[in-house]
Amino acid sequence: MNFGKFLLLWCLVVSGAVQAAPVILVFGDSLSAGYGLQTGQAWPDLLQQRLDSQKQDWHVVNASISGETSAGGLSRLPVTLARHKPAIVILELGANDGLRGLSPDVMQNNLQAMIQLIQRAGARVLLVGIHLPPNYGMVYTQKFQHVYETLAQQQHIVLLPTLLKDIETRRELFQTDGLHPIASAQSKVLNNIWKPLQRLLTKKHES
């Protein structure tokens, strides 16, 4: 790079004309963290690849942790928001609360607190739910699912009712634990995320 180009680039940086791409923060559990997969195979990685291929100027940060509950997510969210300053947060938590039989009311309170923290930080929310296996009983599973629907209506946010839409009953698309999709199914998971996410991507330049 010659001196003239270097000087121009430096002036742009100093003036703020060169800005980092806005951040999409994926804040979830093992379903988003890539449990049992190789690096680069999880759906958040595929999301970055799709955005890049479409020349959409977004940077995906995956802050998901395997085994995370809504309580754990709430405890670490403030620091994560301050660090990454996202424009969009894909909030995918609650599955571990359900699998452990924890109170749906407590989960709802935790998710609501996280949504409010995200909104106060100036970011938009895509809330992602999950369907529990039927062996947890109809009463519990319905109350669990109702949490996501209630929050989406009350907080006026975009909802994907279940991350695993259209693959939940296809055993061949899951790892041996029966809970986590295999690598070849991650593109299907991304497709589920993609449609509701579009509603938020189009607001990129809004204040």
- The DSSP code sequence of 78-108 is HHHHHHH--SEEEEE--HHHHHTT--HHHHH
Question: Do residues 104 and 69 lie in contact, with contact meaning Cβ atoms separated by under 8 Å?
Answer: no
30 is catalytic: yes
Strand order in the sheet with 124-128: 59-62, 23-28, 88-92, 124-128, 158-160
75 is catalytic: no
Q: Which two tokens stand for residue 40?
A: 């680069």
Q: Which two tokens stand for residue 38?
A: 């190789």
Global pTM reads 0.89
**Could you state, in order of their start, the residue ranges of all structural domains in the chain?**
20-201
Which one from 53, 177, 205, 207 is the annotated catalytic residue? 177
Q: Residues of the chain whose pLDDT is less than 70?
A: 1-19, 203-207
Which one from 30, 32, 64, 70 is the annotated catalytic residue? 30
Please give the pLDDT value at position 135: 84
Please give the pLDDT value at position 136: 86
Which one from 29, 70, 97, 180 is the annotated catalytic residue? 180
180 is catalytic: yes
Give the CATH number of domain 20-201: 3.40.50.1110
Please give the pLDDT value at position 2: 55
Please give the pLDDT value at position 133: 86
